[in-house]
Chain A
Amino acid sequence: MPPSSSPPASAAIPANHPVEILRFNTCGSVDDGKSTLIGRLLYDSKSLMEDQIETLERSADITGGGQINLANLTDGLRAEREQGITIDVAYRYFATPRRKFIVADTPGHLQYTRNMVTGASSSNLAVVLVDARLGVIEQSRRHTYLTSLLRIPHLVIAVNKLDLVGWSEERFLEIRDAFESFLPLLDIKDVKFIPLSALNGDNVVDSSKHTPWYNGPNLLAHLETVHIGSDWNLHGFRFPVQWVNRPNNPRNASLHDFRGLSGQIAGGIVKVGQKVMILPSGLKSRVKEIWTLGGSLPEAFCPQSVTLVLEDDMDVSRGDQIVGLDLLPGMSTDLHAQVCWMNPRPLQRGRNYYLKHTTQTLQAIVTSLENRIDIHTFEPQPDPAELGMNDIGEIRIKTAKPVVYDGYGTNRLTGSFILIEQGTNQTVAAGMLMPPQEPVRPEYNDFAI
């Protein structure tokens, strides 16, 4: 390979440099062509470099009978290339002049729920692939259900391998109708159906001449333009305290009494002078300063990482939550949640786990299993004996200390938790909290102000 030489002037930085990140994940069943689709996106958007193409070509000679295998771009582990499958979530990065993209390629077979939840939990958008020959199968329903459960704001149904059904509009509409028969049961606001062939690149980056009956955007055009500005929660200030900032031997004498509360804003906006409440104690104070390395800010918003200084010196530590008074969260030791179970050892009533919610980790016990979702019908089946690997269901949990939370539908950061198995320290469940019955009613009133 020649050393890279100085760039031609024509290829300089695009005039409108990307300023926004869109995170998306691809999911589907084995052989639906997820990795091929990502490979195609990278290849056709010219995001691949010569040495990556060279590596692809080198492996094509060995395994692919001479044809470049785009899936080899994301299948990074030796076992994956040997078996031609994707084992774990792979992340890819590319940019167009409009946006930067973080792609999570989530495999569709073994441990599919675990992988999809890992890849999709922070996505703005999910791409569910469907093989046009097979239509809607169990995995399509499962992935669509998980997209809804995880409250991913945007969904793309990519009807792939349309070349193998003769670019049939009828087949495309059949599949769309099949999805639309169950989409109303789910909580997904924005759905787009796109007919494509990842292998040949039709409607991925370049619009296809084989689908004159389709007037919508190709996949990349949609990814570049879908509105994601309002995907973060800006209502109801939530600040889980992560770390208490106390300079030990400050060279600057004015910092001698500095006591900052560091964390990432998990919801809403905070302003200097704003009245806030600390939970679970219920004490109130005002924000004196919003400290950052670059200087103090008049206000800050989700998901910024800042350090708050309060007007009153009070007992606040990691795991406490500072909240705005306008929209109060719930607070309880009895939690009701939907969980995705991700471990071969099943979830049973009476088991103890660590529960990590925002910045606190608590002892927790599963007090009841309310239901298990039948993935074929999306119907809850009451009182299951256990939840097995990849199962989704509703449970009740008792925690050793109160948890300050919102419903997951309102706030993905304060409405989520994980369960950790004691001993092995494995993460065994992803939990999404049901909305609180009532907002917190603090025992302290305005004494602190």
Chain B
Amino acid sequence: MNIYHLDHLQYLETEAIHIIREVAAEFERPALMFSGGKDSICLLRLAEKAFRPADIPTPFLNVDTGHHFPELNTFRDRRAAELGGKLIIRRVEDAIRNGIAIPNPGEISRNKLQIPTLLAAIEEFRFDCCIGGARRDEEKARAKERFFSFRDAFGQWDPKNQRPEIWNLYNGRINPGEHMRVFPLSNWTEMDVWEYIRREKLEVPTIYFSHRRTCVRRQDQWLPVNDLIPPKPGERVRELVVRVRTIGDIISTGMVESPADTVDDIIAEISAARVTERGSRADDKSSEAAMEDRKKQGYF
């Protein structure tokens, strides 16, 4: 191997930086989705690499379901402030109050309600592009999505009619009312994300590391006990040493029993894991096409 050679993380990094700069150059009003989760933490570092020493030219956008882990929101707010970025938060709670999002009676999950909330935010700020941290290895429908994923005036993804994406030539042209979702981490795996966090010494929220938590056994998972889903009589409740592998809402994120309290431990744990990251997300399990259906409506 010669010295003019990139290892896999450097290759993924240069690919992602190129994509982020294309967005800054080709769109009028792009936003960067930042939740405080591990993928968007990498995304922020890549944005720094793409734009420094200038400021990151995009605001940060987060849709708050009201069911976020509090640790995550604290981290999100602090990181955005440290980077000197403008953080825009739009809440599902408000969308429900304004009639933009209409909850399904009896359904506690706000997963689907994120869709109208996000689309309303895109309309409010006239964002023509949203950069997100989704990865193709997360899920089968995502495995089919382009780096530049076109959304029509209704925010819909049409998987059967995607633009060809060739070499590093991304077609970002849209008509008014349409927008683009751009995924610079498309080619990254869960392992790549953690290796990048280790290499770049990136801080992540504490819930990724091992901690004690009271959990309830439900749908073959340990869910964190909280006010939204109080344990029912007869359910098993235990205090366990756990961490999260992927962060969704607090009512649907399975806690993984784990002693891993450093990034090295997490990497060792993932390399030996026998279930995928999203195996601990109840929202993807409802049917084989759960993600595809949500994406067609405008989900990330």
A: residues with CB less than 8 A from B are 1-8, 11-14, 18-21, 49-52, 55, 58-59, 73-79, 81, 87-93, 95, 100, 102, 114-115, 117-118, 121-122, 229, 232, 234, 242-243, 245-250, 252, 255, 258, 260, 262-264, 269, 291-293, 301-305, 318, 342, 354, 356-357, 359, 361, 412-413, 416-418, 420, 425-427, 430
In the complex, what residues of A have CB within 8 A of residue B17's CB? 264, 305
Known contacts A4-B273, A242-B21, A305-B21: A293-B292 contact under CB 8 Å: no
B119 to chain A, nearest CB (A): 20
Which of the candidate stretches B30-38, B110-118, B139-147 sits at the interface with the other chain?
B139-147
Q: List 7 A-B contacts (CB under 8 A).
A: A7-B272, A8-B272, A11-B272, A19-B8, A76-B139, A87-B159, A425-B175
Give bound CA distance, A186 to B87, whole Å.
54
Contact of A88 with B159 in the complex, beta carbons under 8 Å:
yes
Is B189 located at the chain interface by the 8 A CB criterion? yes
Contact of B164 with A117 in the complex, beta carbons under 8 Å:
yes
B92 to chain A, nearest CB (A): 27
20 additional contacts (CB under 8 A) given A2-B220, A88-B144, A242-B22: A7-B271, A51-B279, A76-B140, A76-B141, A77-B140, A77-B159, A87-B144, A91-B144, A93-B136, A117-B166, A232-B4, A247-B53, A248-B54, A260-B53, A264-B17, A291-B53, A293-B48, A303-B15, A356-B169, A356-B171
The number of inter-chain residue pairs (CB within 8 angstroms) is 223
Which of the candidate stretches B60-68, B73-81, B229-237, B251-259 sits at the interface with the other chain?
B251-259
Contact of B276 with A91 in the complex, beta carbons under 8 Å:
no
A58 to chain B, nearest CB (A): 8
Give the size of the chain B interface in residues (CB under 8 angstroms): 79
Contact of A21 with B53 in the complex, beta carbons under 8 Å:
no
Give the top 9 A-B pairs by smallest Cβ distance, nearest first.
Answer: A76-B140, A7-B272, A11-B272, A51-B279, A305-B17, A425-B173, A301-B4, A78-B289, A19-B7
Contact of B274 with A49 in the complex, beta carbons under 8 Å:
yes
Give bound CA distance, A354 to B7, whole Å.
35
In the complex, what residues of A have CB within 8 A of residue B8's CB? 18-21, 100
Contact of B268 with A7 in the complex, beta carbons under 8 Å:
yes
B14 to chain A, nearest CB (A): 4
B167 to chain A, nearest CB (A): 5
Q: Which of B151-179 contact A (CB under 8 A)?
A: 159-160, 162-169, 171, 173-175
Give bound CA distance, A258 to B273, whole Å.
47
Q: Which of A3, A249, A258 has the most CB of B within 10 A?
A: A3
Contact of B53 with A76 in the complex, beta carbons under 8 Å:
no
A38 to chain B, nearest CB (A): 11
Nearest residue (CB) in A for B141 is A76
Contact of B292 with A262 in the complex, beta carbons under 8 Å:
no
Contact of B163 with A427 in the complex, beta carbons under 8 Å:
yes
Is B227 located at the chain interface by the 8 A CB criterion? no
Contact of B275 with A77 in the complex, beta carbons under 8 Å:
no
In the complex, what residues of A have CB within 8 A of residue B294's CB? none
Contact of A76 with B143 in the complex, beta carbons under 8 Å:
yes
Contact for A354 among B144, B173, B220, CB less than 8 A: B173
**What 1/0 flags go to B170-199 for Cβ under 8 Å of A?**
010111000000000011010100000000
Give bound CA distance, A375 to B165, whole Å.
23
Give bound CA distance, A114 to B166, whole Å.
9
Known contacts A6-B257, A93-B189: A81-B288 contact under CB 8 Å: yes
Contact of B288 with A90 in the complex, beta carbons under 8 Å:
no
Contact for B276 among A52, A255, A301, A318, CB less than 8 A: A52
Give bound CA distance, A81 to B160, whole Å.
13
Give bound CA distance, A242 to B21, whole Å.
7
Is B18 located at the chain interface by the 8 A CB criterion? yes
Contact of B279 with A77 in the complex, beta carbons under 8 Å:
no
Is B96 located at the chain interface by the 8 A CB criterion? no
Nearest residue (CB) in B for A10 is B272
A172 to chain B, nearest CB (A): 32
Contact of A114 with B169 in the complex, beta carbons under 8 Å:
no
In the complex, what residues of B have CB within 8 A of residue A303's CB? 6, 11, 14-15
A65 to chain B, nearest CB (A): 17
Give bound CA distance, A396 to B237, whole Å.
72
Contact of B222 with A3 in the complex, beta carbons under 8 Å:
yes
In the complex, what residues of A have CB within 8 A of residue B12's CB? 21
In the complex, what residues of A have CB within 8 A of residue B216's CB? none
Is B203 located at the chain interface by the 8 A CB criterion? no
Known contacts A3-B256, A425-B175: A245-B53 contact under CB 8 Å: yes
Is B97 located at the chain interface by the 8 A CB criterion? no
Contact of A243 with B24 in the complex, beta carbons under 8 Å:
yes
Is B134 located at the chain interface by the 8 A CB criterion? no
A330 to chain B, nearest CB (A): 18
Nearest residue (CB) in A for B293 is A78
Contact of B144 with A90 in the complex, beta carbons under 8 Å:
yes
Contact for B167 among A19, A20, A252, A413, CB less than 8 A: A413
A198 to chain B, nearest CB (A): 19
Give bound CA distance, A353 to B76, whole Å.
43
Known contacts A19-B7, A121-B166, A418-B166: A49-B191 contact under CB 8 Å: no
Nearest residue (CB) in B for A250 is B53
Give bound CA distance, A128 to B166, whole Å.
19
Is B72 located at the chain interface by the 8 A CB criterion? no
Contact of B49 with A91 in the complex, beta carbons under 8 Å:
no
Contact of A79 with B55 in the complex, beta carbons under 8 Å:
no
In the complex, what residues of B have CB within 8 A of residue A76's CB? 139-144, 292
Contact of B54 with A49 in the complex, beta carbons under 8 Å:
no
In the complex, what residues of A have CB within 8 A of residue B1's CB? 20, 229
In the complex, what residues of A have CB within 8 A of residue B279's CB? 1, 4, 49-51
Contact of A416 with B167 in the complex, beta carbons under 8 Å:
yes
In the complex, what residues of B have CB within 8 A of residue A2's CB? 220
In the complex, what residues of B have CB within 8 A of residue A293's CB? 48-49, 52
Known contacts A1-B220, A427-B164: A262-B275 contact under CB 8 Å: no
Is B25 located at the chain interface by the 8 A CB criterion? yes
Give bound CA distance, A293 to B292, whole Å.
37
Contact of A229 with B2 in the complex, beta carbons under 8 Å:
yes
Contact of A102 with B258 in the complex, beta carbons under 8 Å:
no
In the complex, what residues of B have CB within 8 A of residue A318's CB? 25
Contact of B55 with A269 in the complex, beta carbons under 8 Å:
no
A71 to chain B, nearest CB (A): 12
In the complex, what residues of B have CB within 8 A of residue A246's CB? 54
Q: Which of B255-295 contact A (CB under 8 A)?
A: 255-260, 267-269, 271-276, 278-280, 288-289, 292
Is B50 located at the chain interface by the 8 A CB criterion? yes
Contact of B169 with A234 in the complex, beta carbons under 8 Å:
no
In the complex, what residues of B have CB within 8 A of residue A88's CB? 144, 159-160, 162
Give bound CA distance, A87 to B271, whole Å.
32
Contact of B166 with A252 in the complex, beta carbons under 8 Å:
no
